[in-house]
Chain A
């Protein structure tokens, strides 16, 4: 699905440049808005894209020096391991991005109905 790739790449670039976490809301919202086909694609596409980005980036950090800190934070948060924490990071990304994609898609549908946007 194209939206997986688009959300992943766009958010990756924006976060590298500007750090803020809420790009994973803003970008999927916009992508969801322009998703014409289906609600599932808007929500799941963005969700999976951001899941892959956040899980992947966490794993990358984990393998490049953050193993110790991930283990410590896992202990602080009651998780078993840094790997589980990376997965949880991905899941949070998924939930937020999917919800944003869904909201963007829904907004478009409302506007199409009201203002006949095509």
Chain B
């Protein structure tokens, strides 16, 4: 009996050990996790403390780091190697888990961490070829000794930090998911750069447009998906003449009807990824020096996408934001210049339908011959389960991302290959470093020549008075509308063979109007000789910024801050009076009349306390659905609908149109009917979701903003933030998306700057510096930047000093 009891006791103990030592589904291993000596209890603000002297193996000389009160490191190094080494070391100190996790996402290795639920994601991610692109890119980068030094120094810094970790100081997320960091490599940095390119240019509507053209006809596409958006105020003023001899483009290829009509676009980047930037010439500023402003709009997450830093060496002094995992400063300023980025939106991704010989996918048809495809076998390791193998094929048109059940009439299977400019090797790291070092417009543009992907509008301002904007990137030379639809990957038509020369890219310097700006809109007017794409953002933000900048004179920081936070809704200004006129007002209830009164009195400013802003937004969305859903739900999927301005134009012009009619109801709806139905539906839906008309309908409450943790773990994010702004508004804050970095720089003898981003320097959810800037960001506040020229600090200042020394 005693033996049985003993065996039972050991059995229970063993079970307890197994339960508490291993993850159970999404529950972390509780023994490890709750262990107060090494579990989450150790991830508090105690990790914020920074020693005055840190022993850092691998440094070539002493590095001094000044910390400001937001824990922004200002690194003072005697040489480049040490500067980037320290950047890697300190970024890893604050953001190690985030930087590594993002490289796992880029490389399609999430299953290793979270298990089988990510297998499909990983397969898709690998088929997109980010890893392949990163491998080619790192080879190119390593050929350049200077880039190699920068990347290797950064990697060495990261690894030195990893070596210093103990089970107690391991970042929280490793403990939650029960794994450990691996060695950092330069390839991981290349992966991150490709991931950024993917996030900003990895989306287009070719498949949808091919499907829509097939179902609705050529005229429909021409009319409702035009190359030029109505009311467009392009980045480069349309009147600018182009004084160069353009290269000849080929004839427009004849329409091609793909077999792949049912393709579903999965896991594409957010369509709202965009930004604002502008530079104002000294003629219009109070100080007489140019001012530059930028706010990139990205998915808002914690830890934040950006890491703020200053890098100082004898030949460089640069401040701004870096991407955790990549050296140097991506957006920022130095002693002489400032620059900011917005997404270019020009088409750098084409889809080609590939005809394979058979389901082995080893050969595909090209120029009436069977060509061998490059087969790559991917091993996807899965946490707690067997490794999964996936084969994917690479063709001369790029990797085949989608294999379907589809086949040609002759029985040959088809796939969709993705030709993407970021697949080509290029050295953006060298370009970024060039920007960090640039002293004037000429050197800045020389650096940009090396920056191929992602395509961006680079706004520029310099102490010497120059302002400029360049629609930069590596863009294929296209015939009109080439790349708007899926092409046959069977011959040379539609292949990319030439590129728009860098010296013929859309650019403007020191325009007479005294400012440059961009907001993801069409880069050029009709006079520009090349077709670059058609899926640009609508006109509203760009037009509003230009309207405001034209009016401005004698401006300083305050006016720029006000423009960043500008909540004026141009789309509502255009549409709301028209919609209200169409309303049948005789049978409205008291509440409906109250809502209508509020809409009538609304000044089109989407402040957080505006109920009308949210009602209007929902009304418009319902209206879009009412017009397009029935026609444009094709093969069971909602397809791309026309832009807001196209739909608006159609509503203005047509009282009756077949698309107004809901084909699923017996009645024949006209414009007035669908506007009224959309209004009623909006009020019904909002009442259901938010209760009776009142405070809960305010934009800041009904929508607001949530900044979730990268893993979407409840409790680690900041939710229910009372924000205004919205789509088509300069302050492009939305529910989970918005200005990820607001920066205003005034050039001068010494540049001054105000900045903020919605998060904090630390990636540790237990740190004071994890989300310390969020509330100020919501209110539209900024922080004045310390742009230091030496590591000497006064005793009573808010700054502190750390010395990194190699004691070996």
Indicate whether B714 reaches chain A with its CB closer than 8 angstroms: yes
Please determine whether B37 and A103 come into contact, CB atoms closer than 8 angstroms: no
With A72-B766, A76-B714, A96-B31 as contacts: A21 and B6 at CB distance below 8 Å: no
A109: chain B residues at CB < 8 Å are 2, 6
A70: chain B residues at CB < 8 Å are 40-41, 44
Which of B7-15, B398-406, B675-683 contacts its partner? B7-15
Q: How far is the CA of A20 from the CA of B6 in the complex (A)?
A: 25
Please determine whether B166 and A113 come into contact, CB atoms closer than 8 angstroms: no
Chain A minimum-CB-distance residue to B9: A103
Distance in Å from the Cβ of A22 to the closest Cβ of chain B? 7
Residue in A60, A61, A68, A106 whose CB lies within 8 Å of B2: A106
Indicate whether A30 reaches chain B with its CB closer than 8 angstroms: no
Indicate whether A31 reaches chain B with its CB closer than 8 angstroms: no
Indicate whether B46 reaches chain A with its CB closer than 8 angstroms: yes
Indicate whether A117 reaches chain B with its CB closer than 8 angstroms: no
Distance in Å from the Cβ of A76 to the closest Cβ of chain B? 4
Q: How far is the CA of A15 from the CA of B168 in the complex (A)?
A: 11
Please determine whether A103 and B10 come into contact, CB atoms closer than 8 angstroms: yes
Chain B minimum-CB-distance residue to A55: B36
With A21-B35, A103-B9 as contacts: A95 and B16 at CB distance below 8 Å: yes
Chain A minimum-CB-distance residue to B176: A76
Please determine whether B5 and A92 come into contact, CB atoms closer than 8 angstroms: no
B166: chain A residues at CB < 8 Å are 19
Please determine whether A110 and B35 come into contact, CB atoms closer than 8 angstroms: no
With A69-B765, A106-B2 as contacts: A16 and B37 at CB distance below 8 Å: yes
Indicate whether B375 reaches chain A with its CB closer than 8 angstroms: no
Please determine whether A72 and B44 come into contact, CB atoms closer than 8 angstroms: no
Distance in Å from the Cβ of A3 to the closest Cβ of chain B? 17
Contact with B along A52-76 (1 / 0, CB 8 A): 0010011011101111111011111
Please determine whether A61 and B34 come into contact, CB atoms closer than 8 angstroms: no
Distance in Å from the Cβ of A74 to the closest Cβ of chain B? 8
Q: How far is the CA of A66 from the CA of B37 in the complex (A)?
A: 12
With A19-B166, A21-B31, A72-B765 as contacts: A66 and B715 at CB distance below 8 Å: no
With A21-B39, A64-B46, A110-B6 as contacts: A92 and B31 at CB distance below 8 Å: yes
Q: How far is the CA of A102 from the CA of B48 in the complex (A)?
A: 41
Residue in A25, A57, A75 whose CB lies within 8 Å of B17: A25
Chain B minimum-CB-distance residue to A32: B9
Please determine whether A106 and B6 come into contact, CB atoms closer than 8 angstroms: yes
A110: chain B residues at CB < 8 Å are 2-3, 6
Residue in A89, A102, A106, A107 whose CB lies within 8 Å of B41: A89
Distance in Å from the Cβ of A50 to the closest Cβ of chain B? 11
In chain B between 37 and 60, which residues have their CB closer than 8 angstroms to a CB of chain A?
A: 37-48
A106: chain B residues at CB < 8 Å are 2, 5-6, 9
Distance in Å from the Cβ of A60 to the closest Cβ of chain B? 8
A16: chain B residues at CB < 8 Å are 37
Residue in B9, B34, B172 whose CB lies within 8 Å of A92: B34
With A73-B715, A110-B2, A110-B3 as contacts: A65 and B36 at CB distance below 8 Å: no
Q: How far is the CA of A107 from the CA of B14 in the complex (A)?
A: 15
With A106-B2, A110-B2 as contacts: A21 and B45 at CB distance below 8 Å: no
By CB atoms of chain B within 10 A, which of A25, A70, A103 has the most?
A103
Indicate whether A100 reaches chain B with its CB closer than 8 angstroms: yes
Indicate whether B768 reaches chain A with its CB closer than 8 angstroms: yes
Indicate whether B713 reaches chain A with its CB closer than 8 angstroms: yes
Chain B minimum-CB-distance residue to A16: B37
In chain B between 363 and 414, which residues have their CB closer than 8 angstroms to a CB of chain A?
A: none
Indicate whether B30 reaches chain A with its CB closer than 8 angstroms: yes
Indicate whether B721 reaches chain A with its CB closer than 8 angstroms: no
Contact with A along B723-765 (1 / 0, CB 8 A): 0000000000000000000000000000000000000000011
Closest 10 CB pairs of A and B: A69-B766, A66-B44, A75-B715, A65-B44, A57-B36, A65-B46, A65-B45, A21-B35, A103-B9, A106-B6
Binding site for A on B (CB under 8 A): 2-3, 5-6, 9-10, 12-13, 16-17, 20-21, 30-32, 34-48, 166-168, 172, 713-716, 764-768, 770
Known: A58-B36, A69-B41, A69-B43. 20 other contacts (CB 8 A): A15-B38, A19-B168, A20-B38, A21-B37, A25-B16, A29-B13, A58-B41, A61-B41, A61-B44, A62-B41, A65-B47, A66-B42, A66-B766, A68-B766, A69-B172, A70-B41, A96-B16, A99-B9, A99-B13, A107-B6
Could you list some 11 contacts between A and B, CB below 8 A? Answer: A19-B167, A21-B32, A58-B34, A61-B36, A65-B46, A68-B45, A72-B766, A92-B30, A92-B34, A96-B16, A96-B31
Binding site for B on A (CB under 8 A): 15-16, 19-22, 25, 29, 54, 57-58, 60-62, 64-70, 72-76, 85, 88-89, 92, 95-96, 99-100, 102-103, 106-107, 109-110, 113
